[in-house]
A and B are shown apart, each in its own frame.
Chain A
Amino acid sequence: MSLEVSDNSMKWRFDFSRIPSACGLSGFINRDGNRVGGEVIIESMRVMNERGNGLGGGFAGYGIYPEYAEDYALHIMFESQEGKLACEALLKENVNVEKMEEIPTEPNERIVNPPILWRYFCKPRAEKLNETGKSEDDFIVDLVMQINTDVPGSFVFSSGKNMGVFKAVGFAEDVGDFYRLGEYKGYAWIGHTRFPTNTPGWWGGAHPFNILDWSVVHNGEISSYGTNKRYLEMFGYRCTLLTDTEVMAYLFDLLIRKHRLPIEIACSVMAAPFWKDIDRTNGDERKLYESLRSVYAGALVNGPFAVIVGFSRGLMGLNDRIKLRPLVAAEKNEYIYISSEEAAIREICPKPERIWAPRAGKPVIALLRDGA
């Protein structure tokens, strides 16, 4: 709800209303951990140009920063040099920065008005961790939340280790070229193109949404947004972007990282089975799902969605409980592909061994193999 937002600086971040949007998604993983160039995911996304309208595109790559694998890679966009200075002062207080640099870009005429884009490889300061008693991950989450709500004109759009998010206003393929993704290699990539129904002037509103190593690309409109947002607020999350996808990202973070639910269970919270199906189970299984639906009622995501979630161990694709948005999966050798359209998969994998439409509410989970 935007009632509490009065700070003028926030206007830079969003336009005070939730923007419904339709989208195209694609992602793949090499389960052996072999790294491939970012140009592959750009080619997959290019096929789905029709699914976007040039108002938002983005990518996430995993395994792209092996030389700083132990550092949190903060990608931050700044509205102004003042914002950058304020943010860097806050960073200096809280983290040891191993390396900071401008994110390399190749300007092109289709990507206009870029903000100042920098990345910081860093670790939380030991004395700050002692002082707050937080884990490293919680410390970084809180720092990201603080920057994104309290530091005018600064927005952290990527905060995981050995991974990075790259996004902008534009068509996905142009965004990929702008960020020179072909120069990175990763074992998993996800991409997104967006079709919002009004004009967002802000790069932060593009996908993927990220917190720590969780990145979410999402096609859908969450009909339960108000319920989910208020549920997350009880656990300290602040939904500052007023977008559905942010809610998705935080729910995964809460369920899987904080509450340590297995991924399959987190999926059956967010796309819960129907009572009629739960009633057909017995004993422990029935009790499990009855408890999940009751306790995590606020985390049921209602309305149409297809998501691909990237994390350090793998990829996951999930549809809403009645499959109101498209999602296709395929497998070939050590690769698993998930996408809005079969065409986007066949563009980069012409002859998959297996291709299927995942069932409503049933996740496709593709994890790195042990030792990969």
Chain B
Amino acid sequence: MPDRFLPSEFIVNVDHQRCRRCKRCILNCGFGVFDFQNMTTADSSKCVACHRCVVFCPEEAITITRNPLAYREHASWDVELRKAIWKQAQNSGMILTGMGNDKPWLNIFDHLLIDACQVTNPSIDPLREPMELRTYLGRKPDRLEVKLDSEGKIVLENPLENNIMINVPIIFSGMSYGSISLNAQRAIAIAAERLGTLMNTGEGGLHEELYPYADHIIVQCASGRFGVHSKYLNAGVAVEIKIGQGAKPGIGGHLPGEKIGREVSGTRMIPQGTDALSPAPHHDIYSIEDLRQLIYALKEATGYKPVSVKIATVHNVAAIASGIARAGADMIYLDGFRGGTGASPAVVRDHVGIPIEIAIAVVDEQLRNEGIRNMVSIIAAGGIRSSADVVKAIALGADAVAIGTAALIAMGCRLCQKCYTGNCSWGIATQRPELTSRLDPDWGAERLVNLVNSWSLEVKEVLGALGINAIESLRGNRDRLRSLGLDPATNEVLGVKPVGK
């Protein structure tokens, strides 16, 4: 039987009329597609359609097409299912994948429409009037004690404490050093500082070089405790306990030994070349009261910095979130089932968890019903693709959103979903020095700043159309959303009326 039992997904074509044999494609491809034997040759079976060669070919000589090979149609036996079986029949094991869920599940964001002002109330022009996006993350008291002193001066007895101010309600999600390159993390850190927002270390510790960005960093404490020490915990403005991740709810992580070079090893505090295995649960958290202990241990260790708890959105997310709020968390990071990852078994990525839209709605509603919404900020992630999604997520009840995949795409990622191979041609999801060195942190940072600034402009434009000039007046304002094409039960869960109502 031939080695190549599976046909190539893509066909790489080099136009030899145009090719000047400069060999840039050979250098640029992280997956070893190209070779040179008198002329440039391509092994299509290795191509992941990441476009690195296409972008860097000075002669535009390379085209990549989907392999048009016909498969006998079968409504039930989708081609992808057949390919999965062929792969597993060949090499026993789970099918790995990267990035977020790529299955065509209903995308609720795309069924929500935003309101605008006409006649009865004026819309506001964001170019002429202030339009405020500033957001405070953290626990807030349910009321303020304000008194007048004997001279009639106003005295605030319980000022807001331990909150983090962000200029835009968009932060960067946790992507560890190890899963992405140090240059990618550098770019994100620079961008977070310039934007006045936050980045998140993910579970890979914090490289010494990033300590100067401390005011814009959330440090993560995950089940593997990689790189967690007291200086690290105190390095950021908040600590996040990562319980789960949207792309792989309920399971641990595995960073293969070949990605654990000297720098990653030092940052993660594990021997070079060993696999970094994150357990599925935290082995000191088997229940909600254990979470409370860790939350307060981290608060004690950091002088009471805000603590965030990150969970994957699962069926019972509302009750879990309520428990987390009562356990003392200051922020709840909800990671929807479209959230990205460096590596996940496809079966989990594609079939476990629930959409972020539903999770925001039910968590916000549950916390309000219990009168404890003020105790936590809700950060929504896992499927935020555009400024429209930002607006909708906040209108459903989130305080802010986090973006991971969108940030990577801004830095060149083509969503080839091969992060787990460590061959990322764009220098993002790789530790190979010849690949990571091609991502210039300043270039990446500029693109991230451009992206977030663009989305901010768009959010402001929509707010103006809504006649709202502060983001908090959008938060939980489901009255300004209508659904189109969702079933009544989903509408009720979302707390959104159908169009026309």
Q: Tell me if A290 and B160 are in contact (CB < 8 A).
A: yes
Q: Tell me if A321 and B140 are in contact (CB < 8 A).
A: no
Q: Tell me if B470 and A230 are in contact (CB < 8 A).
A: no
Chain A residues contacting B495 (CB-CB under 8 Å) are: 1, 3
Q: Tell me if B130 and A300 are in contact (CB < 8 A).
A: no
Q: Can you list 5 A-B contacts with CB-CB less than 8 angstroms, sorted by A residue number?
A: A1-B478, A1-B495, A225-B477, A231-B476, A258-B143
Chain B residues contacting A295 (CB-CB under 8 Å) are: 140-144, 160, 374
Chain A residues contacting B148 (CB-CB under 8 Å) are: 262
Q: Which residue in chain A gives the minimum CB-CB distance to B475? A: A227
Separation of A233 and B134 alpha carbons in the complex (Å): 25
Q: Tell me if B479 and A229 are in contact (CB < 8 A).
A: yes
Given the known A-B contacts A225-B477, A226-B478, A300-B473, are A262 and B154 also in contact in the complex, defined by CB atoms under 8 Å?
yes
Separation of A287 and B491 alpha carbons in the complex (Å): 40
A-contacting residues, B455-501, CB 8 Å: 466-470, 472-480, 491-492, 495, 497, 501
CB distance from A321 to the nearest CB of B (A): 7
Separation of A290 and B135 alpha carbons in the complex (Å): 11
A-contacting residues, B123-159, CB 8 Å: 124, 129-130, 132, 134, 136, 140-144, 146, 148, 154-156, 158-159
Residues in chain B within 8 A of chain A (CB atoms): 117, 119-122, 124, 129-130, 132, 134, 136, 140-144, 146, 148, 154-156, 158-160, 163, 368, 371, 373-374, 395, 466-470, 472-480, 491-492, 495, 497, 501
Mark interface residues in A297-330 (1 if CB within 8 Å of B CB, else 0): 1101011100000000000000001101000000
Separation of A264 and B152 alpha carbons in the complex (Å): 12
Chain A residues contacting B132 (CB-CB under 8 Å) are: 274-275
The one of A20, A231, A296, A321 in contact with B121, judged by C-beta atoms closer than 8 angstroms, is A20
Q: Which residue in chain B gives the minimum CB-CB distance to A195? A: B120
Q: Tell me if A227 and B160 are in contact (CB < 8 A).
A: no
The one of A234, A265, A290, A304 in contact with B146, judged by C-beta atoms closer than 8 angstroms, is A265
Q: Which of A152-160, A170-178, A216-224 contacts B (4 or more CB under 8 A)?
A: A216-224
Q: Tell me if B156 and A284 are in contact (CB < 8 A).
A: yes
Chain A residues contacting B374 (CB-CB under 8 Å) are: 234, 295
Separation of A300 and B163 alpha carbons in the complex (Å): 19
Given the known A-B contacts A304-B121, A324-B122, are A297 and B146 also in contact in the complex, defined by CB atoms under 8 Å?
no
Q: Tell me if B156 and A262 are in contact (CB < 8 A).
A: no
B contacts with A: majority SS: loop
Separation of A216 and B113 alpha carbons in the complex (Å): 33
CB distance from A190 to the nearest CB of B (A): 23
CB distance from B143 to the nearest CB of A (A): 5
Q: Tell me if B121 and A322 are in contact (CB < 8 A).
A: no
Mark interface residues in A274-287 (1 if CB within 8 Å of B CB, else 0): 11100000001001
In the complex, A354 has a CB within 8 A of chain B: no
Sample of 13 further A-B pairs with CB below 8 A, known A21-B120, A259-B143, A304-B121: A3-B495, A20-B121, A22-B120, A224-B473, A227-B477, A260-B146, A261-B144, A265-B154, A284-B156, A287-B160, A304-B467, A321-B469, A322-B124
Separation of A223 and B131 alpha carbons in the complex (Å): 14
B-contacting residues, A226-243, CB 8 Å: 226-227, 229-231, 233-235
